[in-house]
Structure 1
Amino acid sequence: MSESATTDRTPGERADVCVVGAGPAGALVAHSLARRGHDVVVLEAGERFDPASEERRMERHLRPGYGPLSVWDMGGPRDAYTAPGERHYPLNAARVKGVGGTTLHWQGMVFRFHESDFASWPLDYADLRPYYGKAEREMGVAGADDNPFAPPREEPFPLPAFPPSHSDSVFADACERLGVAMHSVPNARNSEPNDGRGQCVGYGTCKPVCPSGAKYSADVHVRKAEAEGARVVDRAPVQRLVHDDAGDRVTAAVYATPDGRTHRQTAREFVLAAGGVEIPRLLLLSRSERYPDGLANRSGAVGRYFMDHLFAGMGGTVDRRTRQHHVGFMTSECHQFYEDPTRATSGTEGGIPAWSGDGPEPGSLKLEFLNYAGPTPVGLALDADEWGDSLLASMREAYGNSVGMGALAGQRPRKENRVELDPSTTDDHGNPVPAIHWRVDDRTLATLRRANEIQRAILDELGADVTWRVGPGNTGPAFHHMGTTRMGTDPTSSVVNPQLRTHDLQNLSVASSSVFVTSGALNPTLTIAALALKAADHVDERL
């Protein structure tokens, strides 16, 4: 930890805005409002990590003596949860509590949702289009306008795209023969020096840590917000929100500090930006006589309609070198099957066959070409029982010819998928922990089967020896928490309005993927950022 023991965590005077959470949404809201002259306080449950510790955190990731939660100091009573649903949800496997939030360990892919993704939302792509452009500039997105299936743009990407990897080139000929379109992946990482940070140098450990700082992390905007006068208080988990006698406005955020004390930060406006699990938990913990079912929960939708993206994958080996793990992120993928995953393609080798499954038709999916399939050299060496020249010969034989594909499939919003409180288990402050009830419906399983069908056709065309598969029976989440404070125009069925303000309280906004109405099948962070910038504009209008 970089902080001193004398860090002042006592509340300031009544602020203009109190932001809960210092991840990408909270950091962008804080910076946007602070640079317009507003007095902003950010309360973050986790610590402020020292950037100088990131090489050590990379070592924790690579060395077998450390568990995955140790990379960013997750676990223990603070991060306790339960998962009593049909399918266990491994919440702590991919979240970080700290200044920067999950962008400290994300892979860094950023997409605009397709226009069709907004069909059930109370706003459309045109409403978010200017905010998407601003979010790309703020985050420094590297990309190319080569995706024929992407929504329209108003300007080029801020930075040039990363070139296709060698692994991508292995796939390219097979995809061309099958009529499958490959295109670049927009990445929130520097392809050239930008915003005071250097370009990517290829550590290859992007998820869970980028020691060079080339990948965007929200602590970038935390520092910018502080330069504009914002105050950021770390290790200050908010315990509950307090409202006025009329129940119309939030008056204070009650937070704890490491010395065992609690404090009240008052503000004119409050913005919740703590993610799709902790935001509904906080609202449920803030129940009162006026709101016995939880704050902002007149609709009963707080915590409901929890969604994630599910992963499908397949891979194996080919009889040529693929340079696996030379790139720690994706440089090519395919949105060709996004709108219509049942479609067939025509190509010189027959193409991809149309969907032939029974039951529900699959939903949206995106295909990914993995640059990091197969074992790493470090992993092979650590698992080996030999040394010296013998080990080197074995590694040369086993490493460097792996290929793999991934895919994301979106879930539909279902009321029974939810986050609620579990009073049988408490955190380090005695509060009920989040309980995640989660199941995967038949339509999503059909989408995963379709993704596997397409992947198998491409790998067969490559002549790959398929050795692994992730599909309907062994899928897992992408850890994109969505839907738990959904947006809508009807206060009886939604939590926030299209301006991201809660229906029930006049000065409480939510900036998070928790407001998503549907999930699509694309990584959500750019949409989170766009909505955060939109929320900041509306807060500014009210101040």
Structure 2
Amino acid sequence: MQVDRTPAPRADVCIVGAGPAGALVASRLASDGHDVVVLEAGPRFDFADRPDQMEAAIRPDSDVSVWGMGGERDDFSASGDRYYPLNVSRVKGIGGSTLHWQGMVMRLHPTDFEGSHDNDDPAWPIDYDDLRPYYADAERALGVAGDADNPFAPARDGPYPLPGFPPSYSDSLFAEACDSLGVAMHSVPNARNSEAYDGRGPCVGYGTCQPVCPSGAKYDASVHVEDAEKAGATVLDRVPVQRLETDRDGRVTAAVYATPDGTEHRQTAREFVLAAGGVEIPRLLLLSRSEQFPDGLANSSGLVGRYFMEHLFAGAGGTIDERTRQNHVGFITSECHQFYDDPGQAVERVADGETVVPESDAPLSPIKLEFLNYAGPSPVELALSADEWGDTLLESLREAYGHSIAMGGLVGQPPRKENRIALDTSQTDDHGNPVPDIQWSWGDRVERSLRRATDIQQSILDELGVDISWTAGPDGGGTGPAYHHMGTTRMGSDPATSVVDPQLRTHDVGNLSVASSSVFVTAGSMNPTLTIAALALKCADHVAERL
């Protein structure tokens, strides 16, 4: 079928990117009657293909990307102290990375905005109360299931839209050990339906949430792309934006995009919103350099691409002499924020009478702990890789499967200027543009925080009687990024030290806004998507005020 990818003749707003931020901005502005065009670099995926994608994903011998990532289109460099595997966990396409995300949606704490973790995190130019109503709107938009049982969560004005999911069986195993140590467990807010909501059915337990939800119970941004289209928005797929053009007054006049046959088009609009994520947004701004903006668009501060931040994974696990029912649930149902605002508090290990405290008084990142519902090999993986058949295979599965248990957690990086997204002019993509170069390093605080997180986790596992066989941290290895790209167009009130203002508009370009985790000033240690959604809705309101 021939797809029309020519520019819309009239547009109030042009949005670059159809992930959660772009989709929410498009849905809100189109619903308000504005003419909206969305330009997305990746394809439009057919929902009917999801069962086949699920089957491909669970085969251990499959090395094919379920969502088509890789190749010249997605090339990148990673020249920093730490290698950054960018394509492991991103999606280009309608829906963006929410097509394969885990679906955990927590609000940042007030201390994240205040910069008051007793460390080197600066304050944001907005506070928690500024985002509080947008957080509530975002939870309704995504359909968040949750319970108000978290004593460490920030204040809220009402219940979650949907009831939370009950604790898993393995959560119940953790509960007694945590109680002995004085560690609080509580539920996890999830962007997946615990009951029918917004035209989508409840979770039916496929367990393949990452990388694909075949039922659609887990939210993905194609939901709001479809809402935007129903309200009249034009959404073009497979049209990567090559650069932004500006007029003599320094305002953006057009987004220049390429169609699959290589033809370039210009989409004009009154307002432009960048929502392509924390790597592609700074890359596009740097690619849009001109005589008027020799260092890249919106980059008078020199900070476009700077302060790239991530969350690092900490974990520990092993086996226990009883069934754990791991891999029965594809998402997390219990976690612990007790060590978020106070990561240095002591843990009393009853098993050996030891008090576990940080190794030094040096600052730590907030710590978020998770009780994993997936540890050890899955029965599908064991069966497909086995050399046995029939009853012999069944007996082997019974012996090998079901005793694994594990914890995980996130710690955030402080903003470091040397961590950045730059252009690698020695390597080009399929349109001849320099690819993004990720220059990434950790720093001492990250390593201390990872070590602290794994110490707490091992205390809990020891109390539970787990034979610990692995740890993921600075000493045990196995740690890596959570693929939460933050900070590369940071928000601030001072144009000399930031890229966008508190209304998400760039300081340098009056009709250019950014809706993304790229505007984060600090990383915190919470999964960022709910904050991305809240900021996107805030951005949409400010754009609407100017139209």
Superposed pair shares fold, TM > 0.5: yes
For structure 2, the residue ranges without an aligned partner over 5 or more in a row are: 115-122
Amino acid at match of 1:236: V
**Per-residue deviation at 1:384?**
1.9
Q: Which of 512, 516, 519 is the aligned partner of 1:508?
A: 512
SS at match of 1:320: coil
SS at match of 2:436: strand
Contact 2:301 2:495 in 1 (8 A): yes
**Per-residue deviation at 1:14?**
3.0
Task: Show CA shifts across 1:415-443 (max 9, x none).
Answer: 00000000111000000000000011110
Instruction: Determine whether 1:105 maps to 2:105.
Output: no
Distance (whole Å) between structure 2 residues aligned to residue 351 and residue 220 of structure 1: 52
SS at match of 2:12: strand
Contact 1:426 1:432 in 2 (8 A): yes
Distance (whole Å) between structure 1 residues aligned to residue 291 and residue 520 of structure 2: 29
Instruction: Determine whether 1:219 maps to 2:215.
Output: no
Q: Which of 87, 112, 137 is the aligned partner of 2:82?
A: 87
Match of 2:126 in 1: 123
**Per-residue deviation at 1:353?**
2.8
**Per-residue deviation at 1:361?**
3.4
How many residues are paired up? 537
**Per-residue deviation at 1:386?**
2.1
**Per-residue deviation at 1:350?**
7.8
Match of 1:289 in 2: 291
Instruction: Determine whether 1:75 maps to 2:70.
Output: yes
SS at match of 2:229: helix
Please, which moves more after superposition, 395-404 or 350-359? 350-359
SS at match of 1:241: strand
Distance (whole Å) between structure 2 residues aligned to residue 426 and residue 99 of structure 1: 24
Percent pairwise identity = 70
Match of 2:426 in 1: 424
Contact 1:421 1:435 in 2 (8 A): yes
Task: Show CA shifts across 1:464-520 (max 9, x none).
Answer: 011111111421000000000000000011000000000000000000000000000
Contact 2:356 2:455 in 1 (8 A): no
Contact 1:302 1:485 in 2 (8 A): yes
Instruction: Determine whether 1:496 maps to 2:500.
Output: yes
For structure 1, the residue ranges without an aligned partner over 5 or more in a row are: none
Taking structure 1 as reference, are residues 283 and 324 closer, same or farther at Cα in structure 2, changes over 3 Å only? same
Amino acid at match of 1:110: V
Q: TM-score, normalised by structure 2?
A: 0.97
Match of 1:520 in 2: 524
Match of 2:205 in 1: 202
Match of 1:191 in 2: 194
1:198-347 mapped onto 2 (5 Å cutoff):
198-247=201-250, 249-345=251-347
Contact 1:342 1:354 in 2 (8 A): no
Distance (whole Å) between structure 2 residues aligned to residue 140 and residue 350 of structure 1: 44
Match of 1:133 in 2: 136
Match of 1:532 in 2: 536
**Per-residue deviation at 1:46?**
0.2
Distance (whole Å) between structure 2 residues aligned to residue 430 and residue 319 of structure 1: 57
SS at match of 2:271: strand
**Per-residue deviation at 1:33?**
0.3
Distance (whole Å) between structure 1 residues aligned to residue 204 and residue 396 of structure 2: 28
Task: Show CA shifts across 1:319-365 (max 9, x none).
Answer: 11111111000000000000111101458668883424147332211
Amino acid at match of 2:243: R
1:15-30 mapped onto 2 (5 Å cutoff):
15-30=11-26
Contact 1:499 1:534 in 2 (8 A): yes
SS at match of 1:187: coil
SS at match of 2:270: strand
Amino acid at match of 1:338: Y
Contact 2:349 2:355 in 1 (8 A): no
Please, which moves more after superposition, 393-402 or 511-520? 393-402
SS at match of 1:177: helix
Amino acid at match of 1:489: S
Match of 1:388 in 2: 390
Contact 2:349 2:459 in 1 (8 A): no
Amino acid at match of 1:113: L
Match of 1:59 in 2: 55
Distance (whole Å) between structure 2 residues aligned to residue 351 and residue 112 of structure 1: 35
Contact 2:347 2:456 in 1 (8 A): no
Task: Show CA shifts across 1:237-270 (max 9, x none).
Answer: 00000011121x1000000001210000000000
**Per-residue deviation at 1:63?**
1.5
Distance (whole Å) between structure 1 residues aligned to residue 145 and residue 440 of structure 2: 35
**Per-residue deviation at 1:64?**
3.2
Please report the RMSD computed on the Cα atoms of aligned residues, expressed in angstroms.
Answer: 1.2
Distance (whole Å) between structure 1 residues aligned to residue 104 and residue 52 of structure 2: 24
Q: Which of 437, 451, 473 is the aligned partner of 1:471?
A: 473
Q: TM-score, normalised by structure 1?
A: 0.97
Contact 1:178 1:352 in 2 (8 A): no
Task: Show CA shifts across 1:121-167 (max 9, x none).
Answer: 00000000000000000000000010000000001000000000001
Amino acid at match of 1:317: T
Amino acid at match of 1:227: K
